[in-house]
Amino acid sequence: MTRIVVYESVYGNTRAVAEAVADGLGEALVVAVEDANTVLEDAELVVVGGPTHMHGLTTARSRRMGAAAAHPERGTHVEAGATNELGLRRWLHEVSGAERVRAAAFDTRLHSSKLMTGSAARAIARRMRRRGFDMLGTRSFLVSDGEGPLDEGELERARAWGASLAAALPARERPAVTS
């Protein structure tokens, strides 16, 4: 059984959170959405995350706008796949083999009230439930402005959340030891 963290990232903040969640999970694959398989039959746990744009999931247009508005002179990095057509919306629409697979969702969003920013994690979780995933929870990780950086301590929170998700899974079967 496999633990997979699928992410979409424009400026690299969500990728960093995905990697930290995977660290907390233990043995987990971290995959950008454009490289993620849409068949998840062998998955034990799927954690999916993306940035919050305009109160929810990104669109191809919002990713292009975000990449175009980047400020390289301030050190803003735009991820290589940021403007690809395949984003979480389409991936979540096409994913299969999700029945009874445990899952969790996260987002990165501005450090402000969810009423003001919205939450991509809520939108991800809603779509995952519709596809048959057994949702364990959602989490938001905060950035100081639209391009980041992540607030202090957010990567540690992501690792701890990953560890708590791993603890919620049934113990893995271990091969019998023979003498």
Q: What is the pLDDT of residues 69-84, one digit of tens each?
A: 555 555 556 556 656 6
pLDDT cut 70: percent of the chain above it: 78
Cα distances (angstroms) measured from residue 176 to each of 14, 44, 173, 179: 39, 21, 9, 10
Q: What is the four-CA torsion angle of 52, 55, 59, 62, rounded to 10 degrees?
A: -80
Pick the CATH number of 2-167 from 3.30.70.890, 3.40.630.10, 3.30.465.10, 3.40.50.360: 3.40.50.360
Other Cβ atoms closer than 10 A to 54:
13
> What average pLDDT does range 86-99 have in this prediction?
87
0.85 cut: is pTM over it?
A: yes
Q: What is the pLDDT of residue 101?
A: 92
- For the stretch 116-170, pLDDT in tens is 788 999 999 999 999 999 999 999 999 987 778 999 999 999 999 999 999 999 8
> What average pLDDT does range 2-20 have in this prediction?
94
Q: Which residues of 124-136 are buried (b: 16+ CB within 10 A; e: fewer)?
A: bbebbeebebeeb
> What average pLDDT does range 20-40 have in this prediction?
93
